[in-house]
Amino acid sequence: MKTTKTSSTDWSDPISLLVLDTVLSVSPSWLSPGTSVTLSCEVEHSSAGWRFYWYKTVPDLSGTSYSYELLPGSINGTEQDSYMIHGKTQTAGFTCRAGRGDPEYYTYYSDPKFVWSGGQSASASLTVNPDTVQHFGSKSASLRCDGNSTKWRVSRFTDDGFQRQCFFWGTMNGSTCNLNWMWYGNVVYWCESGSAFSNAVNITGQYNDGIILVSPVHPVTEGDSVTLGCKLRTQNVLSNVFFYKDNKLIQNDSRGEMSISAVSESDEGFYKCQYSGKESPQSWMAVKSSSSENSSFPVLLITGLVCGVLLIILLLLLCCYKQSKGEKFSDQFKITDVFLLLLINAVATEEFEIHKTC
Ligand SMILES: *[C@@H]1O[C@H](CO)[C@@H](O)[C@H](O)[C@H]1NC(C)=O
Ligand SMILES: *[C@@H]1O[C@H](CO)[C@@H](O)[C@H](O)[C@H]1NC(C)=O
Ligand SMILES: *[C@@H]1O[C@H](CO)[C@@H](O)[C@H](O)[C@H]1NC(C)=O
Ligand SMILES: *[C@@H]1O[C@H](CO)[C@@H](O)[C@H](O)[C@H]1NC(C)=O
């Protein structure tokens, strides 16, 4: 993809004759509450003197591509080759490019990279049928997009590093993408509309002579029940299945399923099943907090209350202290004075600490 840059006048720098490629990396790949996302941009075969431009990708539904919108603070580029994003909760795509010289010449835009969220949003969601992470490659499945849009595109990112839309590997019917066979390996799927990205899901394709774990595609809410199963291509396995979590055997009996009646945070992890010498791939079961949306509310309320009460105590103490100061030469009041001074000191220090955290 390199071409000669004919408009350049700086013939002494051979690098400037080429349009260079950039590679963007995004970390982490999956969002969890409170994590920041770091974008890093690298210009291939070149390092010094670049300014970096950061963009978010906006799906262009007239085709299979994206348009790019500059991220805040990068209109003039950044000297740093990394860019931090705070408070992201939904799936999003990014790209970068670099520029240098006067007049400035630019590298190509990097391939888009994504940060995925498993959490559903009101404006876009993806559902998988059948609802299980692992699928046999030869079986069909469908991916449905719902939400605040009439036009959708389904994207996937395969474990060989390629991103492609349903157009290339399935058939779009309305807002559903139908697949006649699955990719053998790990894939992330998500929906895109003109304005929104949906939650993303992991799907793993398995060979026909193997065995699959049946586990939910979406994160399980704390307190809900969940049942994991094990399946051969032709039938469900109904007995004597071993279940493993994070490579440790957790159920070894005559049952064919494993049930958790009330899921807790500690149940999150990688699961797999084993039956008659066959072992499934392992899949991540995500657990989401039942109060994740309003978890910051009680914290704020309690901090506010504590600050308020401390302020009142401080005022009362100051008041008493002033009154007592009038009564000089009384032993009783001297002792109270010292005691009050110590208290005020302690409260004031604590108040200061809390203000720092508030
Ligand atoms: C997908 O799998 C990765 C690990 O491979 C995990 O970190 C992520 O949370 C999973 N996403 C969902 C929605 O389960
Ligand atoms: C749905 O889309 C409309 C128009 O695009 C927008 O004004 C509205 O805020 C969206 N609603 C949600 C829940 O995203
Ligand atoms: C598309 O989906 C509709 C309703 O789900 C169905 O009736 C129709 O046959 C489908 N079209 C194709 C081409 O499969
Ligand atoms: C499961 O339990 C049986 C009987 O208790 C034992 O013989 C077998 O080795 C166990 N399997 C594994 C994989 O630990």
Average pLDDT, consecutive stretches of 10 residues, N- to C-terminus, the chain (358 residues): 39 60 96 92 89 96 92 93 94 96 92 94 92 96 94 94 92 95 95 93 96 97 97 91 97 95 97 96 94 51 60 65 51 51 53 41
- The reply to whether ligand 1 has any atom less than 6 angstroms from the CB of 286 is yes
CA-closest candidate to residue 264, choices 217, 229, 224, 295: 224
Q: Superfamily assignment of 124-288 in CATH?
A: Immunoglobulins (2.60.40.10)
Q: Ligand 4: list residues with CB < 6 Å.
A: 242, 249, 252
Q: Which residues pair with 258 in a beta bridge?
A: 228
The confidence score (pLDDT) of residue 2 equals 39
Q: Pick the atom of ligand 3 nearest to 178's CA.
A: 14
- Taking the CA of 172 as reference, the closest ligand is 3
Q: What is the three-class DSSP state of 155?
A: strand
Phi, psi at residue 166, to the nearest 5°? -45, -40
CA of 202 relative to ligand 1 center, distance in Å? 6
**Residue having the nearest C-alpha atom to atom 6 of ligand 1:** 284
**Residue having the nearest C-alpha atom to atom 13 of ligand 3:** 173
Rounded Cα–Cα distance for residues 221 and 286 (Å): 9
- CATH number corresponding to 22-115: 2.60.40.10
Q: What is the three-class DSSP state of 336?
A: helix
The confidence score (pLDDT) of residue 79 equals 94
- Taking the CA of 124 as reference, the closest ligand is 2
Q: Ligand 3: list residues with CB < 6 Å.
A: 173-174
**Residue having the nearest C-alpha atom to atom 4 of ligand 1:** 284
The confidence score (pLDDT) of residue 355 equals 43
The confidence score (pLDDT) of residue 301 equals 52
The confidence score (pLDDT) of residue 193 equals 93
Single-letter amino acid, residue 211: I
- Taking the CA of 175 as reference, the closest ligand is 3
Contact 262, 290 (CB under 8 A): no
Q: Pick the atom of ligand 1 nearest to 202's CA.
A: 1
The confidence score (pLDDT) of residue 321 equals 59
CA of 220 relative to ligand 1 center, distance in Å? 12
The confidence score (pLDDT) of residue 123 equals 87
The segment(s) of the chain belonging to CATH 2.60.40.10 are 22-115, 124-288
Q: What is the three-class DSSP state of 333?
A: helix
The confidence score (pLDDT) of residue 302 equals 53
- Taking the CA of 244 as reference, the closest ligand is 4
